[in-house]
Amino acid sequence: MHSQSRKVVLVGTGMVGMSYAYALLNQSACDELLLIDIDAARAEGEAMDLSHGLAFSPGHMRIATGQYADCADADIVVLCAGVAQKPGEERPALLARNAEVFRSIVEPVVRSGFSGIFLVATNPVDVMTRLTQALSGFAPGRVVGTGTALDTARLRYLLGEYFCVDPRNVHAYVMGEHGESEFVPWSQAMLATKPVFTVCEESGGRFRAGDMEGLADRVRCAAQQIIAAKRATYYGIGMAMVRITRALLGDENSVLTVSTLLRGAHGVRGVFAGIPCVVGGAGVRETLTLPLLPEEEERFRRSCEVLDACWKELSF
């Protein structure tokens, strides 16, 4: 931490950014929150609106709009800015436009003298996190993407519902790309410390191992389903980002499935992807290499290949 005051600068005050800000306020997760958006009036309005909740919040927080120069003493700069896909626009064109958005943000943030942690949520998040690291030149551990943190939360929620247990007692991860090629290593999924497949075997037919892949499919389709119903997803990701923020600001060394640079885990190098990581004050301290089955390792590698191909489509 840079000072006694936990300072977060949020760039991109759209639905995701402001859901994050609202959750930060409700959890009193930082002391100072500055909002930046290319639409300055929007950022100003959001800062006003959010400040009016201070009278009811569990703690004090300074909330204001800011400039990139204000990032100098920030602990975390959070990136939720982005442009939406135009009708008929191909993925490389969208990626190129979002790369320009990130260039216009990351360069002035770095110029400010910022020496904290970047937290990236903009999609495709694994590629945008890799881009943030490339543009900033920061040590890879200090550039953290939300990765499969939200997907993992969705999985734990669905498993909790299926087995009728508190999702906080479900230990299971979604790994790889935050997107189509993500997967669940079921060999590592536990209720308390008992593998879910054993729970199914011993349940006398009440729970079925064959139902598990259906839950993974529901996780994979959740975003599309929500977007079809209400155009965007934001509360879940906002809460996931606050969870990561708390781990960073509190130097918690929590295990979270964030997007980080792989340096040989499961045979992958040079790609940013979602993997369980120990997250503390300095960002990602280390990745946890789980004892995956050979077919799970293969799925992880394939997902990372998809991400690498996406990165290569990006010219910046």
CA distance 79 to 114: 14
Nearest distance from C-beta of residue 215 to ligand NAD, angstroms: 18
Q: Which of 5, 28, 104, 224 binds ligand NAD (CB under 6 A)?
A: 104
Q: Which of 29, 33, 37, 199 binds ligand NAD (CB under 6 A)?
A: 37
Q: Which stretch binds ligand NAD (CB under 6 A): 65-73, 195-203, 227-235, 262-270?
A: 227-235
Question: Does 238 help bind ligand NAD (rule: CB under 6 A)?
Answer: no
Q: Which of 8, 9, 10, 14 binds ligand NAD (CB under 6 A)?
A: 14
- CB-side neighbour CA atoms (13 Å) of 249: 24
Q: Which stretch binds ligand NAD (CB under 6 A): 38-46, 163-171, 184-192, 273-281?
A: 38-46
Tokens of 128: 């945008």
Q: Which stretch binds ligand NAD (CB under 6 A): 9-17, 64-72, 274-282, 285-293?
A: 9-17
Question: Does 17 help bind ligand NAD (rule: CB under 6 A)?
Answer: yes
CA distance 154 to 218: 9
Q: Which of 7, 9, 13, 132 binds ligand NAD (CB under 6 A)?
A: 13
Please, are residues 292 and 286 in contact by the beta-carbon 8 Å criterion? no
CA distance 212 to 116: 39
Cα dihedral 53, 56, 62, 66, rounded to 10, equals -10
CA distance 153 to 242: 13
Q: What is the Rg, in whole angstroms, of the alpha carbon atoms belonging to the chain? A: 19
Question: Does 82 help bind ligand NAD (rule: CB under 6 A)?
Answer: yes
Which parts of 177-196 interact with ligand NAD (CB under 6 A)? Answer: 178
Q: Which of 65, 112, 122, 287 binds ligand NAD (CB under 6 A)?
A: 122
CA distance 174 to 290: 12
Which CA distances in Å does 90 have to 85, 130, 180, 250?
A: 8, 20, 17, 40
Q: Which stretch binds ligand NAD (CB under 6 A): 78-86, 107-115, 161-169, 245-253?
A: 78-86
Nearest distance from C-beta of residue 149 to ligand NAD, angstroms: 7
In sequence order, what are the residues at sequence separation of 6 or more whose Cβ sits closer than 8 angstroms to the Cβ of residue 116? 2, 74, 75, 76, 77, 142
Nearest distance from C-beta of residue 48 to ligand NAD, angstroms: 15
CA distance 47 to 178: 30
Q: Which stretch binds ligand NAD (CB under 6 A): 50-58, 66-74, 116-124, 179-187?
A: 116-124
Nearest distance from C-beta of residue 140 to ligand NAD, angstroms: 18
Question: Does 283 help bind ligand NAD (rule: CB under 6 A)?
Answer: no
Residue 124: CB atoms within 10 A of its CB come to 22
Q: Which of 146, 245, 260, 303 binds ligand NAD (CB under 6 A)?
A: 146
Among residues 52, 60, 171, 178, the one annotated as catalytic is: 178
Mark whether 178 is an active-site residue.
yes
Closest residue by beta carbon to ligand NAD: 14
Q: Which of 6, 74, 78, 123 binds ligand NAD (CB under 6 A)?
A: 123
CA distance 140 to 108: 19
Please, are residues 147 and 178 in contact by the beta-carbon 8 Å criterion? yes
Question: Does 70 help bind ligand NAD (rule: CB under 6 A)?
Answer: no
DSSP states of 213-241: HHHHHHHHHHHHHHHHHHS---HHHHHHH
Kindly list the residues in this chain that would bind ligand NAD in the complex (CB under 6 A): 11-17, 37-39, 42, 80-84, 101, 104-105, 121-123, 125, 146, 150, 178, 232-234, 237
Give catalytic residue positions: 178
